[in-house]
Amino acid sequence: MQVAIIGVGYVGLVSGACFADLGHTVRCVDRDEGRIASLRAGRMPIYEPHLDTLVARNVAAGRLGFGTDIAEAVRDAEVIFIAVGTPARRGDGHADLAHVYACAREIAGALQGYAVVVTKSTVPVGTGDRVEHILRTLRPQASFAVVSNPEFLREGAAIADFKAPDRIVIGTDDERARAVMRNLYRPLEAGTRILFTGRRSAELVKYAANAFLALKIGFINEMADLCEQADASIHDVAHGIGLDRRIGARFLQAGPGFGGSCFPKDIQALIKSAQDLGAPTRIVETVAAANEQRKRRMARRLIQACGGSVRGLTIGVLGLTFKPNTDDMRESPALTILTALLDEGAEVRAYDPEGMEQARALMPEITCVPDPYAVAEGADALALITEWDAFRALDLPRLRRRMAGDVLVDYRNLIAPDAAAEAGFHHIGVGCRATPPAPRARLARARSARRGARIGTPLAASPA
Residue positions annotated with a catalytic role: 262
In degrees to the nearest 10, what's the CA dihedral of 268, 207, 173, 119? 70
User: What phi and psi, each to the nearest 5 degrees, are found at residue 103?
Assistant: -60, -45
- For residue 300, which amino acid is it? R
* Helix/strand/coil percentages in the chain, nearest 5: 45, 15, 40
| Pairing mode of beta strands 407-410, 381-384 | parallel
- For residue 24, which amino acid is it? H
If you count them, how many residues does the chain have?
464
Q: In sequence order, what DSSP letters do the residues of 409-460 get, joined into one string? A: EETT--S-HHHHHHTT-EEE-SSSPPPPPPP-HHHHHHHHHHHTS---SPPP
Sign of the torsion formed by the C-alpha atoms of 49, 317, 323 and 244 = positive
Contacts of 179 (CB under 8 A, 6+ apart): none
* 400: number of Cβ within 10 Å: 20
Contacts of 405 (CB under 8 A, 6+ apart): 306, 313, 379, 380, 381, 442, 443, 446
CB distance 12 to 83 below 8 Å: yes
Q: Which three-class secondary structure state does DSSP give residue 300?
A: helix
